[in-house]
């Protein structure tokens, strides 16, 4: 028999808020994690993004706190990025709709003044990025002795971003007696170490095998030789848009994201596409995200800064314009589609230097991504000289990473040229076997 939210023993206020949000039955991660959290146990959840894990810990917290009380926070939720912090805050507000609980999210990118003012008025739940939380705490505006529940969300991302020192500081300043919840998409060594310091006899819940994409996502791969051909392929895939209701395009750098955005802008105009990357101001990023979530625009071009923390339920397609260098990010990117039991399509463009990362991704997800032939209408451009040189250099670096003794095609060519130069200079200096000439040869003169 299917488990319902009523079976999970939530009160009427929460059940009404869940119904208003349009959810009818709990996802597997919610079914498994909510009972032990409600029992007050420490929980470690290995769950990829898009499985409903935010609600899995937010609902029990709202149930536990019930109503506004005192001036100081009783629950602290720590997240790696401001996008995710904003997303969690929104979730808390949705589920606490019929309560008077006070929520504040604190994150960098804008001044702390407003955030401090909200905290000083009284707060029950703080959602925070580690750095900004510590800044406001050290300035004397956050009291931690009342905290009963501490959540670390996307713990693997926090470790990757180097937040371990701040996390350790937070653990030092919160009460020893508290409930701890840790969520991570992958179980890396660093996360394992963190869980040992942080959790007391936790209930470990693994909803899907580690780092596997949602079963509802159809994955596709194209081998594409260069940047221009990637644009041509993108143009071709967007020709028949009938099945694309909402599309996220992920790029490795903000420069590529801007180029792709400009191309789409010429094709569709401002009303259909937005771009999201670290160089954009905070307000622009929030507006772009909201426009995409509220169906005002159909396409969002983003760097990995946005691949976590955007909870949009009906993304039909994800295109990896570039293959991510951090292999786990592939799972997070394609996890933006196929969410909450809906189906989705994830398409990846892979140039010769990116095959190295595709192999690593396939090992991680224990799947072979189906490789498709280039559509016949796509014009395959000649790779420009500079781009080809960059690709060769990158491939050399990859081979050297795998085999430290590998000297590389570039290295060998360079050595051979140096040898020739050296022999020519030597021949000149010795004057065909005679005594060396005085003075430095021309080729050894210092260049300014």
Q: DSSP per residue over 363-429, as a string?
A: HHHTSPPPEEPPPTTS--PPPPHHHHHHHHHHHHHHHHHH-TT---HHHHHHHHHHHHHHHHHHHHH
Three-state DSSP state, 289: helix
- List the chain domain ranges: 12-206, 217-381
Predicted pLDDT at 444: 46
User: What is the CATH architecture assignment of 12-206?
Assistant: 3-Layer(aba) Sandwich (3.40)
User: What is the arrangement of strands in the sheet containing 43-46, beginning at the earlier edge strand?
Assistant: 103-106, 125-128, 75-78, 149-152, 179-184, 43-46, 203-206
Highest mean pLDDT pick, 106-110, 154-158, 372-376: 372-376
For 203, the enclosing helix (H) or strand (E) is strand 203-206
**131-151: b (≥16 Cβ within 10 Å) or e:** ebbbbbbeeeebebeebbbbb
pLDDT at 425 over 80: no
Structure confidence at residue 443 as a pLDDT band (50, 70, 90): very low
What is the Cα–Cα distance from 363 to 350, expressed in whole angstroms?
A: 16
Give burial (CB, 10 Å; 0-12/13-18/19+) of 447. Answer: exposed
Predicted pLDDT at 158: 85
Work out the widest C-alpha separation in the chain, in whole angstroms. Answer: 102
Q: Does domain 217-381 have CATH number 3.30.565.10?
A: no
Structure confidence at residue 385 as a pLDDT band (50, 70, 90): very high
58 near 52, Cβ under 8 Å? Answer: no
Q: How far is CA 329 from the centre of its chain?
A: 5
Mean of pLDDT values over 19-25 = 81
Chain mean pLDDT for the chain: 83
Mean of pLDDT values over 249-268 = 90
What is the Cα–Cα distance from 417 to 411, expressed in whole angstroms?
A: 10
Tally Cβ neighbours within 10 Å of residue 301: 28
DSSP classification of residue 354: G
321 near 230, Cβ under 8 Å? Answer: yes
Name the least confident of 68-77, 112-121, 434-443.
Answer: 434-443
Predicted pLDDT at 210: 47
Predicted pLDDT at 366: 84
């Amino acid at each position: 028999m299917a488990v319902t939210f009523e079976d999970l023993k939530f009160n009427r206020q929460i059940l009404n808020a869940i119904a208003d949000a349009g959810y009818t039955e709990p996802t597997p991660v919610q079914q498994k994690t909510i009972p032990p959290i409600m029992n007050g146990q420490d929980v470690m959840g290995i769950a990829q993004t898009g499985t409903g894990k935010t609600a899995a810990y937010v609902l029990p917290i709202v149930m536990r706190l019930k109503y506004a009380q005192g001036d100081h926070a009783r629950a602290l939720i720590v997240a790696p990025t401001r996008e995710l912090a904003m997303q969690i805050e929104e979730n808390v507000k949705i589920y606490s709709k019929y309560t008077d609980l006070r929520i504040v999210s604190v994150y960098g990118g804008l001044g702390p003044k407003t955030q401090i003012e909200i905290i000083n008025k009284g707060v029950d739940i703080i959602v925070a990025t580690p750095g900004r939380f510590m800044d406001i705490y050290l300035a004397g505006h956050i009291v931690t002795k009342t905290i009963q529940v501490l959540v670390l969300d996307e713990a693997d991302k926090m470790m990757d971003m180097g937040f371990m020192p701040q996390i350790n500081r937070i653990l030092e300043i919160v009460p020893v007696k508290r409930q701890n919840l840790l969520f991570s998409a992958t179980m890396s060594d660093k996360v394992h170490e963190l869980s040992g310091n942080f959790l007391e006899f936790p209930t470990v819940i693994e909803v899907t095998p580690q780092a596997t994409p949602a079963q509802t996502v159809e994955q596709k791969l194209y081998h594409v030789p260069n940047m221009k051909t990637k644009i041509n392929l993108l143009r071709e895939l967007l020709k028949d848009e009938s099945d694309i209701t909402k599309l996220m395009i992920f790029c490795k750098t903000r420069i590529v994201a801007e180029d792709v955005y400009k191309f789409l802008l010429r094709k569709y105009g401002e009303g259909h596409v937005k771009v999201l990357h670290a160089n954009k101001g905070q307000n622009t990023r929030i507006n772009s995200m909201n426009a995409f979530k509220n169906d005002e625009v159909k396409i969002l071009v983003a760097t990995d800064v946005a691949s976590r923390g955007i909870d949009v339920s009906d993304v039909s397609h994800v295109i990896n314009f570039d293959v991510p260098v951090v292999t786990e990010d592939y799972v997070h990117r394609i996890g933006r589609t196929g969410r909450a039991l809906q189906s989705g399509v994830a398409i990846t463009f892979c140039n010769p230097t990116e095959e190295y990362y595709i192999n690593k991704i396939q090992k991680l997800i224990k799947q072979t991504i189906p490789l498709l032939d280039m559509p016949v209408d796509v014009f395959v451009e000649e790779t420009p000289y500079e781009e080809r040189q960059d690709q060769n250099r990158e491939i050399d670096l990859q081979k050297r990473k795998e085999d430290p003794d590998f000297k590389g095609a570039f290295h060998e060519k360079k050595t051979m040229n140096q040898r020739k130069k050296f022999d020519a200079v030597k021949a000149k200096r010795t004057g065909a076997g005679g005594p060396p000439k005085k003075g430095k040869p021309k080729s050894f003169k210092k260049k300014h």
